[in-house]
Amino acid sequence: MQRETVLELLGVETFYGKIKVLHGITMKVKQGQIATILGSNGAGKTTLLRTISGVVEAEYGQILFKDKRVEKLDPNKIVKSGISHVPQERLIFSELSVEENLKLGAFTQKNSHMTEKVFTYFPALKERLRQFAGTLSGGEQQMLAIGRALMSKPELLLLDEPSLGLSPMLVEEIFTILKQMNKDGLTILLVEQNVNLALDLADYAFVLKNGKIFMSGEPESIRQEDKVRESYLGEGKGKYMKRAKIWGQQ
């Protein structure tokens, strides 16, 4: 199946102050894909998502969304163009009600009819509309964060570690819903610490290391790579150094 490229990054470099976090990222995400970004802590996964959504500015390089450059736009313009970002900390507005949170998600839409659709994915939210978002459980907060991001009718959803702090059962539930959203036509770029889960879900994977794309490919080929298995899957020869190497023997 020939898919069109939705998101393209060309040599994107991002700095925090004087520290370079992203060293020239070049990648493509295709229409209808679930792409995942793997990598250890501090590899720059979160920064990459923040750069795409414009909360952090890219110093160099280009970001193309549907063939239009977006790297110099304000975050609100980027949301309007069809990218929605669910941050790692979820950042729901805990002092506002669930309903207000959802309405804010649709801020860029003149009249959004997405609420019903969000409820079909997350029926639990419907019963909690009037409640303050801060009183929701962890799982419900994550559902609210994703539901809120859907309200702006995105074509591309950036998800930063949706499994963080949730029980395995809840994680499975959320991943099933993500799969359903993808079937309904949403392109997803997922950052996930749970590598096995991410590779199960994704159509394509990027491995990020020290702010560079270290490897990319189909999930199966990534799974085959020894380096990935050792570093992230806890399989293979183990992550400890081989004692034989100490004396230079192979």
Partner 1 sequence: MTTQIITYGITLGCVYALVALGLVLIYRATEIVNFAQGEMMMMSAYMFFTLYSMEKGLFTAVIGSLLFAVMLGVVMNTIISRPLIGKPIFAQIMATIALSIVLRSLTGVIWTHEDFFMYPPPVSMKPMDVGFLQISPYQIAIVGVSIILVLLLYLFLNLTRFGTAIKATSENPVAAQLMGIPIKRIYIAVWILSSLVSAVAGMLIIPQFGLQPMLGSRLLLMALPAAVLGGFGKLEGAIAGGLILGVLESLATVYLPTSIYDIFPWIILILMLLIRPDGLFGTPVRKRV
For residue 128, state whether it binds partner 1 (rule: CB under 8 A): no
Of residues 32-61, which lie at the interface with partner 1 (CB under 8 A)? 53-55
**What would the two tokens of residue 174 be?**
């959320």
Of residues 145-164, which lie at the interface with partner 1 (CB under 8 A)? 148-149, 152
Residues that bind partner 1 (rule: CB under 8 A) add up to a total of: 26
User: Please, which residue, 24 or 75, has the CB nearer to partner 1?
Assistant: 75
Q: Nearest distance from residue 69's CB to partner 1, in Å?
A: 18
243 by Cβ neighbours in 10 Å (0-12 / 13-18 / 19+) ranks as exposed
Return the range that interacts with partner 1 (CB under 8 A); candidates 38-46, 73-81, 170-178, 240-248: 73-81
Pick from 141, 153, 45, 72: nearest CA to 106? 153
User: Please, which residue, 152 or 194, has the CB nearer to partner 1?
Assistant: 152
Site string for partner 1, 181-200 (x = CB under 8 A): --------------------
For residue 105, state whether it binds partner 1 (rule: CB under 8 A): yes
User: Please, which residue, 85 or 223, has the CB nearer to partner 1?
Assistant: 85
The binder of partner 1 chosen from 13, 59, 100, 173 (CB under 8 A): 100
In sequence order, which residues have a C-beta less than 8 Å from that of residue 227 and are 6 or more positions away? Answer: 215
The binder of partner 1 chosen from 44, 87, 147, 162 (CB under 8 A): 87
User: Residues 96, 141: contact at Cβ < 8 Å?
Assistant: no
Give the relative orientation of helices 114-121 and 138-150 as an angle to the nearest 10 degrees. Answer: 150
The conformation of residue 242, written as its DSSP 8-state character, comes to P
Q: What is the dihedral of CA 16, 57, 105, 107, to 10 degrees?
A: 140
Q: Nearest distance from residue 76's CB to partner 1, in Å?
A: 4
User: Please, which residue, 191 or 228, has the CB nearer to partner 1?
Assistant: 191
For residue 141, state whether it binds partner 1 (rule: CB under 8 A): no
Q: Say how far residue 233 (Cα) sits from the centre of its chain.
A: 19
Residue 114 half-sphere exposure toward CB, CA atoms < 13 A: 23
Q: What is the CA radius of gyration of the chain?
A: 19
For residue 214, state whether it binds partner 1 (rule: CB under 8 A): no
User: Please, which residue, 5 or 109, has the CB nearer to partner 1?
Assistant: 109
Phi, psi of 84 (to 5 degrees): -125, 140
**What would the two tokens of residue 60 be?**
């160099």
For residue 66, state whether it binds partner 1 (rule: CB under 8 A): no
Give the footprint of partner 1 on this chain (CB under 8 A).
Answer: 53-55, 74-76, 79-80, 84-85, 87, 91-96, 100, 103-105, 107-108, 148-149, 152
